[in-house]
Amino acid sequence: MPATRLALGACALLLTAGLWGSNHVVARAIHEMVPLPALVFWRWAIALTILTPAAWWEIKRYREPLLRQSWDIAIGGTIGVGVFSYLLIGGAYQSLALEVGIINATTPVWVAILAWVYGQSRTGWEGWIGLLLALVGTVTILAKGSASTLGALDIRLGNLWSLLGAIAFAWFSLRVRTWSREIGPLSLTAATAWAGLIGVMLPVYLISLLFGGPLLVHEGSDLPYALSATAYVALGPTLLGNVGYLYGVSALGPERAAAFIYLSPIFSAILSVIWLGETLQSFHFAGFSMIFSGLLLVNDDQRRVAQVRSGANK
């Protein structure tokens, strides 16, 4: 695989990690203003309004594989985009950001486990150590270096949603590996998102409206703040984040791409320092070191496994 494509894939995943690092924070900030069905629906409705025309040339180019795999993509989009969106945002609505962040950080582990179950694993012993090290680093940051912080966590419904969301997204990432062999990232993002919007998000939103839910915000909410936050979630984490992630998966593979999710808490910490005035402490640096070390181990492991398989195929 060309080095340029690998580099672009890594850059796309870095951007995705930064955007996703802010996603549940923004959702948590407006959970009392914007009802869950409205935010889940409008974030993708807005994103698809922009994405679909931009991807139209690519959709026509990959029309044949899109039609041939339409049923599989429809199921994948319904679960990996539609259901996952409710699990992701719902977790942030019902649980503390600390809890949601820890659980979402398990996605790369579920990717590796599911890949092993399906016989698609490319992770060797060095990669498993790297995944574990990065997970420990993530937990160290989110728990603020204190085991008592983790011990004080309550079991909440949002935690279960987040756990199911991490598993669903891990499964979706593995499906993306198969689809991306024939389909470009823009058209694949649009196709799966439309499946999720039509199959899950729109029906739930219409039911919410039928029972008296607001179009977007609750009465008396700060409308400009809610609108700007919704627009950010739609254009940033939803549109750019998902396109970047799918491109990264197609370039680096699902296991290496999922490992970049561990960088999200780092970007969250940076945003907190810049906008909230929080200060970096020793546990931040310890966690950062473990995360980066873990990512290096995962990348080295995947490169070594690829070289061994390439040599075996000669």
Calculate what percentage of the chain has a pLDDT beyond 70.
Answer: 80
CB atoms closer than 10 angstroms to residue 95: 25
Q: How confident is the model at residue 271 (pLDDT cuts 50, 70, 90)?
A: low
Q: What is the tens place of the pLDDT at every residue in 88-127? A: 888 878 876 656 666 677 777 788 778 878 777 667 777 7
pLDDT of residue 314: 46
Q: What is the tens place of the pLDDT at every residue in 228-270? A: 999 999 999 999 988 888 788 878 877 677 777 777 777 776 7
135 close to 220: Cβ distance less than 8 angstroms:
no
CA–CA separation, 257 vs 13, rounded Å? Answer: 7
Q: What is the tens place of the pLDDT at every residue in 198-228? A: 999 999 999 999 999 999 999 888 999 999 9
Residue 1, pLDDT > 60, answer no
Residue 154, pLDDT > 60, answer no
Burial class (CB in 10 A: 0-12, 13-18, 19+), 53: exposed
CA–CA separation, 284 vs 274, rounded Å? Answer: 15
Cα within 13 Å of Cα(45), Cβ side: 15
CA–CA separation, 27 vs 193, rounded Å? Answer: 19
* CA 6 distance to own-chain centroid: 19
Q: What is the tens place of the pLDDT at every residue in 14-62? A: 889 889 888 877 888 888 899 999 999 999 999 999 999 999 999 999 9
CA–CA separation, 71 vs 136, rounded Å? Answer: 38
Dihedral, CA of residue 73, residue 79, residue 80 and residue 81, to nearest 10: 90
135 close to 262: Cβ distance less than 8 angstroms:
yes
CA–CA separation, 21 vs 9, rounded Å? Answer: 18
107 close to 169: Cβ distance less than 8 angstroms:
yes
pLDDT of residue 270: 72
Q: What is the pTM of this model?
A: 0.78
266 close to 56: Cβ distance less than 8 angstroms:
no
301 close to 127: Cβ distance less than 8 angstroms:
yes
Q: Tokens for 108? A: 């790369």
